[in-house]
Amino acid sequence: MNDASRSLLTFISDTPTAFHAVRNTAHRLRLAGYTELSETEEWSLVPGGRYYVTRNLSSLIAFRTPPSLPAGFMIAAAHGDSPSFRIKENAESPAGGFYTRINTEKYGGMLCSTWMDRPLSAAGRVTFRRDGAIRSAVVDLARELFLIPSVAIHMNRHANENASFNPAVDMQPISGGSDAAGGYKRLLAEACGCDPEELLSSDMYLYSREPGRIWGIGEEFISSPRLDDLQCVYAALCGFLAAAPSAACPVLCLFDNEETGSATKQGAASTFLRDTLTRIIDALGGSRVDYLRAVASGFMVSADNAHAVHPNHPEYADPPHRPVMNGGIVLKHNANQRYATDALSAAVFTELCRRAGVPVQHFANRPDLPGGSTLGNISDTQVALNTVDIGLAQLAMHSVYETAGVRDTDYLITAMTAFFGSELRAEGTDCLRLL
Ligand code: CO
């Protein structure tokens, strides 16, 4: 029981950062016969081939080529990054006359209080000098090393009212006493197999060492770090690998930097997807027009977790749009198109789910609350095609320990398997057939 969510927990525990999301996804793709391509080299693709390409080691696009030029691109995108604290270049400072402090700054918008008083580690990408070249290593220090201590209630009697956290003061972890100075750099060098003097720079992020769990009277809930958005990443990957072949080109996107607005060379606002799709058509001998036709005939599922109605604060949810955990896939709607869903993309996805036997539910922000943003409308500025924004209902989004429904993992895998095996055929401008 709950096999998919148990496998998801294994995937998450191996995936502390976006770099690891790419590494672990690539590993699973290689086991399934996928060949890695490089953006700096020529691509010679064969019909019926399986490929993936990465950018910055932190974003990945995988695809299968159909027997002839693709009828359309069937794309699903999710993000591999999560809110965290990035360790600064000058990582250590003395603190309080006794401690060694690790200097961090916020990456994305987290619920700060949830990061306190728990063992933390660090993972990410490190660069170092070796044989006259600049090398990159994706590393996980994989030990309880740091902790951000809260202030005792006896010293801050207002701690339970109007809690506020200054990231420069309240959110800095310690790594030990003053004799721990130099220890962090030593661990980084060890993880890379180099000398501390050979280290050049790093993109290292804190992560919680708390393991994920399945719980509840009926074992219906899953709690873990980084469910947003690794639950969608994992389900999309499983569906991508399981799908039957079609005349379309299935494309799986794993983007970094969603939590900071996607505007990086490897984020959803970058050229990565457009460049990759263009090169697929080029390598298959197609023209610019073939590319445009395959995009216009395609569809994108932007998968990023959604808010479940909160048990103690149902008032934050719009009364007619209150998704529940284990209630099926959430379609996200927004009048200002912060979610790219419209009547057509909602119809296509709902019909796909109906055929696959997967329930759907609907989310819209309460009209007086701004809500969040996601990948769909940002990616559409680079590759414009019919797009639906979906997610799985969860509680405590951007807590260091989030909660979702175990059955929803299975629902999304089923829906993604159906999606990646399907194609869309336009009949005139007002009729679409889902095949
Ligand atoms: Co997200």
183: pLDDT strictly greater than 70 = yes
Q: Are 373 and 286 in contact (CB under 8 A)?
A: no
Task: Kindly give the distance from the C-alpha atom of residue 136 to the centroid of ligand 1, in angstroms, as a whole number.
Answer: 27
Look at residue 429 and tell me if it is in a domain. Answer: yes
- 89 with 124, same domain: the answer is yes
Distance 240 CA to ligand 1 centre (A): 20
Domain end, chosen from 207, 240, 261, is at 207
Read off the pLDDT of residues 222-249 as tens digits, 9 standing for 90 and up. Answer: 999 999 999 999 999 999 999 999 999 9
Give a yes or no: residue 244 inside a domain.
Answer: yes
Distance between CA 239 and CA 349 in Å, rounded? 15
| Rounded distance from Cα 400 to ligand 1 centre (Å) | 13
Residue 305 CA to ligand 1 center (angstroms) comes to 6
Ligand 1 midpoint to CA 267 (Å): 13
Check whether residue 172 and residue 33 sit in a common domain.
no
Ligand 1 geometric centre to CA of 247 (Å): 31
Q: Is the domain of 66 the same as that of 104?
A: no
Query: In sequence order, which residues have a C-beta less than 8 Å from that of residue 160 and are 6 or more positions away?
Result: 153
d(CA 73, CA 398): 31
- pLDDT, one tens digit per residue, over 24-49 is 999 999 999 999 999 999 999 999 99
Using the mean position of ligand 1's atoms as its centre, give its distance from the Cα of residue 32 in Å: 27
Let me know whether 119 and 24 are in one domain. Answer: no
Q: How far is the CA of 46 from the centre of ligand 1 (A)?
A: 34
Looking at residue 141, its pLDDT comes to 98
Rounded CA separation 232/227 (Å): 8
Share of the chain above pLDDT 90, in %: 97
Q: How far is the CA of 7 from the centre of ligand 1 (A)?
A: 20
Task: Check whether residue 236 and residue 122 sit in a common domain.
Answer: no
Distance 402 CA to ligand 1 centre (A): 12
Whether residues 49 and 143 fall in one domain: no
Ligand 1 center from residue 423 Cα (angstroms): 27
Domain membership flag for residue 217: no
pLDDT digits (tens, 9 = 90+) for 113-142: 999 999 999 999 999 999 999 999 999 999
pLDDT of 1 above 80: no
- Look at residue 91 and tell me if it is in a domain: yes
Say what the pLDDT of residue 372 is.
Answer: 83
- Contacts (Cβ under 8 Å, ≥6 apart) of 292: none
Count of domains for the chain: 2
Same domain (yes/no): 53, 122: no
User: Distance from the CA of 304 to the center of ligand 1, in angstroms?
Assistant: 5
pLDDT band at 162 (very low <50, low <70, confident <90, very high): confident
| 77 and 103 together in one domain | no
CA of 396 to the centre of ligand 1 (A): 12
What is the CA(279)–ligand 1 centre distance, in A?
Answer: 28
Residues 392 and 299 in one domain: yes
Q: Is residue 255 one of the residues assigned to a domain?
A: yes
What is the enclosing helix (H) or strand (E) of 332?
Answer: strand 329-333
At CA 381, angle to CA 380 and CA 385, rounded to 5?
Answer: 30
Q: pLDDT digit string (tens) for 89-114?
A: 999 999 999 999 999 999 999 999 99
Distance of CA 222 from the midpoint of ligand 1 (Å): 17
CA 73/CA 423 separation, integer angstroms:
8
Q: What is the DSSP string of 15-41?
A: -SSHHHHHHHHHHHHHHTTPEEE-TTS
105 falls within a domain: yes
Looking at 166, 181, 207, the residue that finishes a domain is 207
371 pLDDT higher than 90: no
Distance 289 CA to ligand 1 centre (A): 34
CATH of the domain at 122: 2.30.250.10
Determine the pLDDT at residue 273.
98
Residues 189 and 268 in one domain: no
Query: If you measure from the C-alpha of residue 363 to the centroid of ligand 1, how many angstroms do you get, rounded to a whole number?
Result: 15
Based on the domain organization, do 372 and 324 belong to the same domain?
yes
Q: Ligand 1 mean position to 231 CA, how many Å?
A: 10
How many angstroms is it from 258 CA to the middle of ligand 1? 7
Q: What is the CATH number of the domain that holds 418?
A: 3.40.630.10
What one-character DSSP code corresponds to residue 310?
A: P
Share the mean pLDDT of the chain: 96
Using the CB atoms, write b or e for 250-260: b if 16+ within 10 Å.
Answer: bbbbbbbbbbe
Picking from 175, 207, 239, the residue at the C-terminal end of a domain is 207
For 356, the domain range is 2-82+225-434
Structure tokens given for 293: 């036709």
386 part of a folded domain: yes
Per-residue pLDDT of 205-214, as tens digits, reads 999 999 999 9
Among residues 129, 252, 135, 256, the alpha carbon closest in space to that of 205 is found at 256
Question: Do 299 and 384 belong together in one domain?
Answer: yes
**Ligand 1 centre distance from Cα of residue 344 (Å):** 23
Confidence of residue 289 (pLDDT cuts 50, 70, 90): very high
> How far, in Å, is the centroid of ligand 1 from the Cα of 171?
22
Q: Is residue 219 part of a domain?
A: no
CB 141 within 8 A of CB 184: no
What's the 108 CA to ligand 1 centre distance in angstroms?
A: 10
